[in-house]
Amino acid sequence: MASTGDQSASVGTPVTAENNPLRVAADKRLPRIAGPCSMVMFGVTGDLAQKKLLPAIYDLANRGLLPPGFSFVGFARRDWTDAKFAEVFHDAVQAHARTPFREDVWESLAQGIRFVSGAFDDADAFTNLATTVQKLDMERGTGGNTAFYLSIPPDWFAPVTERLQAAGLSDAEPDTWRRVIIEKPFGDDLESAQQLNAIVEGVFPPDSVFRIDHYLGKETVQNLLALRFANQLFEPIWNANYVDHVQITMAEDIGIGGRAGYYDDVGAAKDVIQNHLLQLLALTAMEEPIAFSASAVRAEKEKVLASVRLPEDLNASTSRGRYTGGWQGGEEVRGYLHEDGVQAEKNTETYAAITLDVNTRRWAGVPFYLRTGKRLGKRVSEIAVVFKRAPRLPFSTGATEELGQNAIVIRVQPDEGITMRFGSKVPGSQMDVRDVTMDFGYGASFTESSPEAYERLILDVLLGDPPLFPRHEEVELSWQILDPIVNHWKAQDAPPADYRAGTWGPKESDEMLSRHGREWRRP
């Protein structure tokens, strides 16, 4: 039989994955594995590194996502040998790793572990670091590719970046890369963020600067984009025609612990709203990107943040509080002012709630309520899209007196999933409509457990895949939103309102919503 032009498979030949002419997508069973590289981490003795970052490195290795010659260099002031640091690394993995400990995986990883002792302003230590990185490149075949993770206090971001440049560590040879990872907070206000951006991007190209927001690595946050743009069910009603308001919450049931030195200078609004919650707002309100690429997603998020407007009356549309002593989880806890290292005269808030408007056609008239706090009733992070009531109900008043507003709730943590709330008839002879919920949970729907956010984000850095990392434009737009609120609070020169530990914040926060006939969700 003559050929018809399709020569990919002959007649009678079984169509396989290899010869199928319609196969255009990569095999989804094949994971993305980082190429040859190394990582240098500053601040490896810190709490974040011990509990999250070092275990995440092991978990990636355990899942086979790191290259065989992957190498890891810790940098800190401790007078440790390579062997001692490997022991500290090992203990952190055994205590906090998500995946089971496997001796063979650890032995392979440990072969590339090194330690450099020195202070962040010690030029000789950075020279030693450069030598260590170069030796690993020759011995382990890391390809000249290195990521520098700055898990350090924000005041050191700029000096360490400049030391990397002075030691020649930021210079990438052709066909290699050097990248820097910076933890929040990125700046203390708009001016400091702009200064820091100028310094960091003067050393590393913008596409080589990865600003970590671990919330963006959570499965549920990423699933928000799938929920909206992979389904026809939700997007037609995701607008001001149907949505009454949006609530974005990050609540913690713990106090500040030993973080007074950092937290007392920052407060709840700068610690959480400027980064986490405004990023969640941007993802909730953004238009559909032309592709799921870094530039396309960032462009839509930046449009949202640029369109955010503050209400005229900041007294009525914002609230700040500070927890007092009380009982939580069966334990008596002390108030913020009695925590070690806290200075009362700073008037630092542990609770912040703000109202924002998104001045676009899609969201005009829909308030976005953002709140965060410590020592609240429950640890929970969620996005609640609350819909308007039906314009007409053909039922008697009594039939719907227990019917609330429809809502879609994206649960970010700890119970990752999505809940839909809607009205349903109660079984019986009468028409009685009440709220019911339909629930999707990751744990019940998928056999594979979700990776930790830092696993995904670290792997994305090593792969050079940046959609989930905000660029300096987003950081600066976020500070433009928050700065006027923080300055307004400072001008008042009044202490935050008290709220008892274990409750859901000060009464002023409830009043912020009740003025408009709304109320906060109680998760």
Instruction: Give residue 470's pLDDT band: very low, low, confident or very high (50, 70, 90).
Output: confident
The catalytic residue among 96, 214, 245, 276 is 276
Q: Provide mean pLDDT across the span 183-205.
A: 90
Q: Dump pLDDT digits (tens) for 337-368.
A: 999 899 988 999 999 999 999 999 999 999 99
Helix (H, G, I), strand (E, B), or coil: what is residue 225? Answer: helix
3-state DSSP assignment of residue 88: helix
pLDDT at 18: 43
Q: pLDDT at residue 516 above 60?
A: yes
Least confident residue range of 22-31, 72-81, 204-213? 22-31
pLDDT of residue 47: 87
The answer to whether 214 is a known catalytic residue is: no
Is 401 or 23 the better-scoring residue by pLDDT?
401
Cα 149 from Cα 181, distance rounded (Å): 5
How far apart CA 135 and CA 116 sit, in angstroms, is 13
Note the pLDDT of residue 402. Answer: 59
pLDDT-derived band at 450 (thresholds 50, 70, 90) equals low
Please state, in angstroms and rounded to a whole number, the distance separating the CA atoms of residues 147 and 70: 11
Tell me the backbone φ, ψ of residue 229, rounded to 5 degrees: -105, -5
Give phi and psi for 298, each to the nearest 5: -65, -40
Structure-token match 């530039």, residue found: 295
* Tokens representing residue 107 in the block: 């032995």
Alpha carbons within 13 angstroms on the beta-carbon side of residue 359 total 6
Give me the helices (H) in 122-255, please. 123-140, 157-166, 190-203, 219-229
Residue 383 parent element (H or E) = strand 380-387
Question: What's the pLDDT score for residue 277?
Answer: 96
Residues 213, 457: Cα–Cα separation, whole Å: 9
| 372 strand-pairing partners | 250, 352
**What's residue 382's pLDDT?**
95
Q: What is the largest CA-CA distance in the chain?
A: 90
Asked if residue 12 has pLDDT above 80, the reply is no
405 with 387: CB under 8 angstroms? yes
Give Cα separations from 453 to 214, 220, 236, 276, 468 (angstroms).
Answer: 6, 10, 30, 13, 11
What would the mean pLDDT of 468-487 be, rounded to a whole number?
91
Rounded Cα distance, 376 and 383, in Å: 17
Rounded average pLDDT over 244-256: 95
Rounded distance between C-alpha atoms, residue 273 and residue 286, angstroms = 18
DSSP letter (8 states) at residue 503: B
**Nearest by Cα to 358 from 246, 515, 488:** 246
Cα separation, 84 vs 3, in Å, equals: 68
How far apart CA 305 and CA 478 sit, in angstroms, is 7
Pair 75, 129: CB distance under 8 Å: yes
Nearest to 37 by CA among 434, 460, 497: 460
State mean pLDDT over 187-197.
92
Q: What is the pLDDT of residues 105-130, one digit of tens each?
A: 999 999 999 999 999 999 999 999 99
Measured distance CA(23)–CA(14) in Å, rounded: 14
**Can you give the pLDDT at residue 2?**
41
DSSP at 49: I
- Output the pLDDT for position 401: 54
- Give the CB-side neighbour count of residue 452, counting CA atoms within 13 A: 18
Rounded to whole angstroms, the Cα distance separating 175 from 496 reads 53
Q: List, in sequence order, every residue forming a beta bridge with 114; answer none if it has no partner.
A: 73
The runs of H, that is alpha helices, within 269-372 are: 278-285, 294-307, 314-317
d(CA 380, CA 251): 5
Q: How far apart are the first and last CA of the chain?
A: 68
In angstroms, what CA-CA distances link 135 with 71, 148, 212? 11, 16, 28
Look at the block and give the residue holding tokens 């008043």.
Answer: 397
Percent of the chain with pLDDT over 90: 65
Give residue 415's pLDDT band: very low, low, confident or very high (50, 70, 90): confident
Task: Give the per-residue pLDDT at 403.
Answer: 64
What single string gives the DSSP state of each residue in 60-87?
HHHTT-S-TT-EEEEEESS---HHHHHH
- What is the separation of C-alpha 330 from the centre of its chain, rounded to a whole number of angstroms? 30
Is 4's pLDDT higher than 60? no
* Structure-block tokens of residue 136: 């690993």
Helix (H, G, I), strand (E, B) or coil at 116: strand
Nearest to 46 by CA among 261, 229, 273: 261
Indicate the pairing of strand 318-324 with strand 209-212: unpaired
Q: Read off the tokens for 70.
A: 């992957």
Mean pLDDT of the chain: 87
Please name each of the domains of the chain with its CATH number.
Answer: 38-183 (3.40.50.720), 217-450+471-514 (3.30.360.10)
Asked if 116 and 128 touch (Cβ cutoff 8 Å), the reply is: yes
On the question of a cis peptide bond just before residue 451, with omega within 30 degrees of 0, the verdict is: no
